[in-house]
Structure formats: structure tokens, C-alpha cells
Amino acid sequence: MSLNSTAFSHPPFFLLIGIPGLEKEQFWIAFPFCIMYAIAVLGNIALLLIIMAEPSLHETMYFFLAMLAFTDLVLSTSTLPKMLGIFWLGSGEIGFLCCLAQLFFIHTFSSVESGVLMAMALDRYIAICHPLRHSSILSVPVVVALESLVLVRGVLLVSPLCFLLHRMPFCEHHVISHSYCEHMAVVKLVCGDTRVNVIYGLFVAFIVLGSDMILISVSYTMILRVVMRLSSAEARLKAFSTCASHVCVILAFYVPALFTFLTHRFGHSIPPPVHIMVANLYLLVPPVLNPIVYGVRTKKLWDRVV
């Protein structure tokens, strides 16, 4: 067999090493990760069941919240079981196609999560700035169409990343210095010109994170302007309170997302253990936080729980 046929082909598997630099500590790190995953799964399933079972919760905000809970379940389940296998059992091998599938689910549903957060910001803007027109603007068909659009956007934008990687030649080095198959981590193993992959990855990140963050910022700027004009301090406090839970969730998602994205491309001085730990928490903290934040701060949901 020639060198070319062995060097430039799809590897049968990749080897995920977990958290580079913390291989000995991974066994113990897995315990809090496992607890957080259990909370995320139970919390989001409970959220979905409560929203589906209770007719009074069949409103715009709760439809978006149900979509967020489903997205969080997919995101955490796409990564955590395999991650725990690496940390506890040392089973870092992942088949080439399984790696692409994991990459697809992670990036597609990260895009969906961003889109749902943007739609929820739009919902808060209309509810506060145009309360009398809220139900007519964001009717159930419009909400379903928005959620479908967000899902289709994720699938259409991320699918080419997987197709591009599938066509790429890989060298003999198949070790991924990560806990899961992240796009740029896999691209680094390609034996060839990766400019198209990198440029398209930047394009997807700009379209998703950039546009969603701009729309969220505009929505909350408009909300702030309207709220500050309210004459009653109590009314201002109530308006801010309705947005507080959403702002917490936005920060928990976008801060580590931006850190991970920028570190891959520009933060070469960031220690690998810090980068990978933040990347792991980026896919775990929002699924844990969302049901807790919304369950505690949303009176209708809390009333159904107690």
C-alpha cells in the first residue's frame, strides 16, 4: 500500500483525549460533570412535560421555552455521555462518521439555541413595547414558523461543514485535543488546504452569533428606552424582572461561546486546559441553568411545580 493511500484517507476513528493537561484529574472532574448532566436532563424533561401537560402554559413564551429545553437536551446528550466515558473509562475512540455526526449535532443545536434566545428577546420586546399587539404579532403559527426557521437555518448552515470535512484528506495523526468533536479541533488534523473550512466556519459564526447578538442587543436597547420612560418605579421594576431571567441565560450561553470561538482562532496564549474546560462548560452550564432560572423566576411554571 502506497504512502499516499494511507496518509490521505479517512481515518477509521479519532482519539479524543479529554482535557489536555488534566488527564490525571479527569476522573474526579467527571463527578461534578455527571451531576450537572443529570440535573440538565431531569430539569429540561420536567420543563417539557409541564409545558405540554398544562393548557395555561400554551403561550408564546412557553413555546420558546419548550424549544430551548429540547435543544438543551440534544446539546448535552450529544457530548456528555461520551465525555464521561473518556474521563472514567479512557474510551476516547470515536468513529469518523460518529465524530462528524457529533459535530453536526453540537454546532446545529448551538445555532438553534442562539436563534431561540434571539426569538425570546423579540418576544420580550413585543410584550413590553407593544403589549396590546403581542398576541396578534406573535400568534401560534408565527411562533411555530420562527422555531422551524431557526432549526432549518442551523441544519442548512452546519451541513456543509460536515460535507467539507468528509471530502478532506487526513494525516496519520488522529488525536483530537478536545473532549468532543468540535469543528476547528477536527480541521487541525486535515492534511491539506483548510482555508475553505476556516472561512466557511467564520461565515457561519458571523451569520449565527453576529446576527443574533445584534438583534438581541437592539431588542433590549428598545426595551430599556421604553422602561426608563415609565413613571412608576414599581412598573419599571416589574418590566426589568420579566427580562432578568432571559438576560442571565443569554450571558451564560454567549460569554463562553465567544470565548471558545475566539480562543480557537486568536487565543493561542490561552492554556489548553482553560480553553477546553470553558468549551465543556459552554455545552453544559446553559442546559443546567435554563430550567432552574425559568422554573424559579417564572411564576406560572413555579405554581405548576409546587
161, 103 contact by CB (below 8 A): yes
pTM value? 0.89
Residue 1 banded pLDDT, cuts 50, 70, 90: very low
Residue 61 within a domain: yes
Residue 89 within a domain: yes
Residue 6 within a domain: no
Q: Which amino acid is at 111?
A: S
50, 66 contact by CB (below 8 A): no
Q: Where residue 159 sits, what CATH number does that domain have?
A: 1.20.1070.10
Kindly report the average pLDDT of the chain as a whole number: 85
Residue 2 within a domain: no
Q: What is the pLDDT of residue 200?
A: 92
Q: Is 139 left (phi over 0), alpha (psi -120 to 50) or beta?
A: beta
Q: How many domains does the chain have?
A: 1
**DSSP letter (8 states) at residue 170:** B
Residue 282 within a domain: yes
Beta-bridged to residue 93, according to DSSP, are 15
Q: What is the pLDDT of residue 55?
A: 80
**156 against 301, higher pLDDT:** 156
Place of cell 418576544: 123
Strand order of the β-sheet with 175-176 is 93-95, 13-16, 175-176
| Residue 148 in this model has a pLDDT that exceeds 80 | yes
How far are the Cα atoms of 107, 152, 155, 156, 283 from residue 148, in angstroms, in the given order?
17, 6, 11, 12, 22
Residue 4 within a domain: no
Residue 155 banded pLDDT, cuts 50, 70, 90: very high
Residue 8 within a domain: no
Q: Which contiguous run of DSSP H or E holds residue 243? A: helix 233-265
- Express each pLDDT in 217-254 by its tens digit: 998 888 888 887 777 777 777 777 777 777 888 888 88
- Express each pLDDT in 69-81 by its tens digit: 999 999 999 999 9
The parent domain of residue 187 ranges over 13-303
Ordered alpha helix ranges (H), 12-59: 26-53
Residue 5 within a domain: no
How far are the Cα atoms of 56, 124, 217, 290 from residue 239, in angstroms, in the given order?
21, 9, 17, 20
